[in-house]
């Protein structure tokens, strides 16, 4: 099994995916263990002093003015975890919780939190045992860390609360720890706070969103090319010299993808052969690289933000190399929240343009000779009429999900925490948007492949033929009389979601961006 080694200098997006989705094992490097020990010595020395130090010998948030006596400090750390484990609502997905736990371990291993090496090792042990704490949808404002989600994870480290075992069954965390020979953690000064104070949940969801969106944007370039073929459009607008004079990298990449898919097509360039010749294709076809490209450039910016956050140690207070323990505001989720919202906007627009292309395929007045709704016997058959309704409903929801969460702020903690990022909420709605976008692209694929097969006597591009053959082999059926449509659409969804559309085309086109 693949092993991810956690050091002091952060981690990579690939490692997050490997742990969250691939169940990779986690090990702490010797360097990390040494850094953890050094930082803990500093915290222990401060704890022994009579002067109060925030997070070490004081209360938290609005209660930070109270100096806590040594005999109450272990109770203080337990209490912050128990009281902050106040999430409600549906369970958060396993992959999100694993990403959250791993990223918290990444910060702990930096040596800037003052957590004992034994606590960090227990965090790794839980991941390696496949024990996943039950985390709920609501409880984070994206500031002072993803507090409730991280608290539910810390609670499991203490052997309390509920967790999902490797068999998928939810049971008391204490039972699961005992079965795997893991000793519950008894928290000491600063450790409870250090386990809660990070942007780990929203960052984990950002990393996974970027991985999913990269596949979806390539898939959308392919379906846009298929639709252009089905509409007998022109590939001339994809010429690299046109995109070179407006040098947005994402636009050039999308245009190159579409051109690669369309190479050798016998369907493109038929403008003048129709009874109503066109000068230009509609915007939803002609401007596909510009819209998808802008989304690609948005992803590049989001990936830059993610890379910086993956290299960060987010806690409050932090232990600095010179021995100081300083309060700070690095837990504020604004940098991550903004790009999560930006991605939701880009995804909504990509879904919107894909839906417009699908609608054009179904309208006999704009489809250049295709049957109404791509039906077998229009009137007797409704064809894909309601598939487009479903797509439109998904697009409509995506537009609502594109409303920025980070534009909101609700003060908390008796006005001590008076400006928050809502980054966790931004991440949660982006996950829904990505699910919807997958379905929208799947419906365009379903319509475009059917339309191409209805262009009798014309030969599609070799890459298009490969896409159609793979889709049909995966249970995405072709033209014919009306049938129960939901299973076909589910098959198309699974095909796109697995990245199989890209996999089917690349042997013909070469690697796509």
**Helix (DSSP H) and strand (DSSP E) numbers for the chain:** 19, 9
297 burial via Cβ count (<10 Å: 0-12, 13-18, 19+): middle
Cα(94)–Cα(238) distance, integer angstroms: 41
Angstrom distance (rounded) from CA 260 to CA 506: 9
Which residues 6+ apart lie within 8 Å of 257 measured at CB?
Answer: 218, 221, 222, 225, 509, 512, 513
4: β partners = 26
Of the CA atoms within 13 Å of residue 173, those in its CB half-sphere come to 21
Q: Look up tokens 């990449």; give the residue.
A: 253
Identify whether 446 is a catalytic site residue: no
Catalytic residue among 54, 138, 338, 446: 54
d(CA 341, CA 429): 9
Q: In the beta sheet, which residues pair with residue 6?
A: 28
Tell whether omega for the bond before 317 is within 30 degrees of 0, i.e. cis: yes
356 near 447, Cβ under 8 Å?
no
Q: State the Cα–Cα distance between residues 482 and 381, nearest whole angstrom.
A: 6
Catalytic residues: 54
């Amino acid at each position: 099994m693949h092993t991810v080694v956690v050091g002091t200098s952060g981690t990579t997006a690939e490692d997050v995916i490997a742990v969250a989705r691939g169940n990779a094992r986690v090990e702490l490097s010797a360097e990390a263990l040494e850094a953890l020990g050094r930082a803990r010595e500093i915290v222990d020395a401060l704890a022994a002093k009579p002067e109060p130090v925030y997070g070490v010998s004081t209360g938290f948030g609005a209660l930070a003015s109270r100096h806590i006596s040594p005999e109450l400090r272990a109770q203080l750390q337990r209490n912050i975890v128990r009281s902050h484990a106040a999430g409600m609502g549906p369970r958060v997905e396993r992959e999100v919780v694993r990403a959250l736990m791993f990223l918290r371990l990444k910060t702990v291993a930096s040596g800037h939190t003052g957590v004992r090496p034994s606590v960090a090792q227990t965090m790794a042990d839980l991941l390696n045992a496949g024990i996943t704490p039950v985390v709920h949808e609501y409880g984070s404002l994206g500031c002072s860390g993803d507090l409730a989600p991280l608290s539910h994870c810390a609670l499991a480290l203490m052997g309390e609360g509920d967790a999902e075992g490797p068999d998928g069954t939810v049971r008391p965390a204490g039972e699961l720890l005992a079965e795997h020979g893991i000793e519950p953690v008894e928290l000491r000064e600063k450790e409870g706070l250090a386990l809660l104070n990070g942007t780990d949940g929203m960052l984990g969801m950002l990393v996974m969103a970027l991985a999913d969106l990269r596949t979806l944007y390539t898939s959308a370039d392919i379906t846009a090319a298929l639709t252009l073929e089905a509409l007998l459009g022109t590939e001339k607008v994809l010429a690299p010299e046109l995109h070179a004079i407006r040098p947005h990298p994402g636009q050039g990449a999308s245009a190159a993808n579409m051109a690669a898919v369309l190479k050798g097509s016998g369907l493109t360039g038929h403008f003048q052969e129709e009874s109503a010749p066109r000068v230009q294709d509609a915007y939803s076809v002609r401007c596909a690289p510009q819209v998808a490209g802008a989304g690609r450039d948005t992803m590049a910016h989001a990936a830059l933000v993610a890379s910086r956050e993956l290299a960060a140690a987010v806690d409050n207070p932090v232990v600095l190399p010179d021995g100081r323990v300083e309060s700070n505001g690095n837990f504020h989720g604004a940098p991550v929240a903004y790009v999560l919202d930006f991605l939701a906007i880009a995804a909504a627009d990509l879904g919107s343009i894909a839906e417009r292309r699908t609608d054009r395929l179904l309208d006999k007045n704009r489809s250049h000779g295709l049957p109404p709704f791509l039906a077998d016997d229009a009137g007797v058959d409704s064809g894909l009429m309601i598939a487009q309704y479903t797509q439109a409903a998904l697009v409509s929801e995506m537009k609502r999900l594109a409303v920025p969460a980070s534009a909101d702020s609700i003060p908390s903690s008796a006005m001590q925490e008076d400006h928050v990022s809502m980054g966790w909420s931004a991440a949660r709605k982006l996950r829904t948007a990505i699910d919807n976008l997958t379905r929208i692209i799947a419906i365009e694929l379903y319509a475009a492949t059917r339309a191409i097969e209805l262009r009798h006597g014309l030969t599609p591009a070799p890459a298009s033929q490969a896409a159609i053959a793979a889709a049909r082999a995966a249970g995405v059926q072709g033209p014919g009389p009306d049938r129960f449509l939901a299973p076909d659409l589910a098959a198309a969804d699974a095909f796109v979601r697995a990245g199989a559309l890209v996999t089917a085309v690349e042997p013909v086109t070469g690697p796509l961006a």
